[in-house]
Structure 1
């Protein structure tokens, strides 16, 4: 430390001899010395104590000069610390972007630095606060196209509740998870207006803990999508896409649950895999509802409520906020228009699949060709 502060001592001796306060060049030298001390891992306390100890060898001690040199030393130290943090955050954002897009340039080596062992199996949870924009272009998501979300951003216009406080929220949640599960088990980051949590598949409790902190951090309306467990860097990408897609499917289907598991929604990508078939089903079964007075939406909502209530008309009426008689009337209208009834087991499956397909395809708002 003494060799770093040689300029500081010379400046004090000159000030004591001439009464002249240190100039810009001397203070710049002190700032450089403070920055170098930070880069070498010295504590700010050790830096200041060494500077004060050196000042004791100067007589008389030029207090105004001492104040300026110590201030410059601390300024240089703090600037170096901030620069190191910015570089670390930049490297972190780049790593997260590469990880979630599957770019493999030294990925495993870099992952160790951020606490991940990519040979393991991982689960990715994606949390979206209320009002935040959907992640753009997640492959495999109904109604989207493009690559895996484009460039990662810390936050930006349209990111809703994440804007401005995104990184701070992510860091607080990650600190809490690291304190409980250890630094080599979780990674929390911000990407495309969502919080992303990567955790080992064997550490299932981490997903619940992450959801708990999301609930505390965001206003009602937040959602968490949980991907399935997959192995390796490619598995992280797949799980991330599944989590984001689960939120997208929940929105399209009008699901109320705040936590959506990709494993519970596997049937919907299957439905969409043959888009021509599902369009034909929706058109063939549900297009007669377009002739209903008041449009098809009340009848579609009634079918959804009936399916969610396992056929119980009273429970469905409560869900809809209407009378049981109104539900009975609507079901009869559906039977007359379509020829299908949810009371028949075979027809019920056809109707339910058609309604799910309609929600996935955003029909009738977007007519099918």
Structure 2
């Protein structure tokens, strides 16, 4: 440290001898010394204590000059720290983008710098604030590109809730990450911002981390937030897959009108299966449900009734409570459905066909978007 502050000592001796305050060149030298101290990992306390100890060897101590040189040392130190933080954040954002898009340029080596061991199994949780644009779309659904090779593809358009993340996104992510690191250790979690969502990467063996992440999301976001949990997968490619599953779980929740704020990809596996054969699901929806288009008042009340019946395990009284109508109205609607479609939820085989068709209709946004 003493060799860094040689200019500081010479400036103080000259000020003591001449009474002249340090000029721009001397102060720039002090700023450079402070920056170099920060780059070498010295603490600001050690820097200031060394500068003050050197001043004690000067008699008389030129206090105005000492104040200026110490201030310049600290300014250089702080500027170097801010620059290092900006570089770290830039590297972090680049790493997160590369990780979640599967770009394998030295990923394992870079991951260790941020506390991840990519040979392990990881689960990715995706949190979206209320009203924000949907995260990466589901391959094969309306309004998406239909690709599935990368985690999320292009960034989604900004939605009304993106401002909630835009202003304090990094701060929110850092606060949540700090809380998780304090509990689980620095080599276990990574929290970052991506496409208007918060993303948490945690080891698959650390299942409580997902619950803790959700707890902090609940505190940070207004009601209406959603969290999608991918399944556990191994390696960098597994992180990409889990991220895509978490984002798709949120998308499925929106399309199906699911009320739960936390959606697990493992609980929704049937829906991607349905969508892999879009022609088949379109044919099912058209064949089974298109007669409902002839119903007075349109098909929506009848579709809602079927959804309520399925959610209530066939209990018409419970379904009526869900819908806010009388049990008699539910009975009438079910009879109307049977007459129009030839299918009844009271028959076990027909119930499965009807439920699958209704789920397919919600996934395809039918009848709002007619099928071809």
Assess same fold via TM > 0.5: yes
Alpha-carbon offset, residue 250 of structure 1 = 0.6
**Aligned-CA RMSD value:** 2.1
Determine if contact 1:138/1:148 at 8 Å carries over to the other structure. Answer: no
Comparing 353-362 with 14-23, which one deviates more in the overlay? 14-23
C-alpha deviation, 1:52, in angstroms: 1.1
Q: How does 1:157-306 map to 2 (within 5 A)?
A: 159-306=162-309
Alpha-carbon displacement from aligned partner over 1:111-155 (angstroms, at most 9, x marks no partner): 111111111111111111111111245656667888533578999
Deviation string 1:231-263 (CA, Å, 9 cap, x unpaired) is: 111011001101110110010000111111111
Residues 72 and 140 of structure 1, relative CA distance in 2, 3 Å threshold: farther
By how many angstroms is 1:99 displaced?
Answer: 0.7
The structural deviation recorded for 1:14 is: 1.6
Equivalences for residues 287-326 of structure 1 within 5 A: 287-326=290-329
How far apart are the structure 1 equivalents of 2:288 and 2:66?
Answer: 86
Aligned to 2:24: 24
| CA distance in 2 between partners of 1:273 and 1:173 (Å) | 36
Give the 3-state SS of the residue equivalent to 2:346 in structure 1. Answer: coil
Q: Any conservation in 2 of the 1:154–1:190 contact (CA below 8 Å)?
A: no
User: In the comparison of the two structures, how many residue pairs are matched?
Assistant: 369
Q: Contact 1:138 / 1:245 at 8 angstroms: preserved in 2?
A: yes
Alpha carbons of 1:307 and 1:155: their partners in 2 closer, same or farther (altered >3 Å)?
Answer: closer
**8 Å contact kept, 1:97–1:151:** no
Whether the 8 Å CA contact 2:292–2:298 is kept in 1: the answer is yes
Q: Whole-Å Cα distance in 2 between the matches of residues 228 and 160 of structure 1?
A: 29
Could you tell me how far apart the structure 1 residues matched to 2:334 and 2:74 are?
A: 76
Which range moved further: 315-324 or 11-20?
A: 11-20
Distance, in Å, in 1 between the alignment partners of 2:239 and 2:81 is: 32
Note if contact 1:12-1:65 (Cα within 8 Å) is conserved in structure 2: yes
How far does residue 18 in structure 1 lie from its aligned partner after superposition? 2.0
Q: TM-score, normalised by structure 2?
A: 0.94
Alignment CA distance shift 1:256-1:137 (3 Å): closer
Q: Counterparts of 1:9 and 1:87 in 2: how far apart (Å)?
A: 32
- Structure 2, unmatched stretches of 5+, are none
CA gap of 1:93–1:154, structure 2 versus 1, over 3 A, is farther
The Cα of 1:168 is off from its aligned counterpart by 1.2
In the superposition, the TM-score normalised over structure 1's length comes to: 0.95
C-alpha change, 1:88 and 1:36, in structure 2 (3 Å) is same
Query: Structure 2 CA distance, aligned partners of 1:54 and 1:154?
Result: 58
> SS at 2:199's partner residue?
strand
Structure 1: runs of 5 or more not aligned: none
CA distance in 1, matches of 2:284, 2:40: 68
Instruction: Pick closer, same or farther for the CA change 1:152–1:275 going to 2, 3 Å.
Output: closer
Aligned partners of 2:265, 2:14: CA distance in 1, in Å?
A: 71
Q: CA deviation at 1:95?
A: 0.8
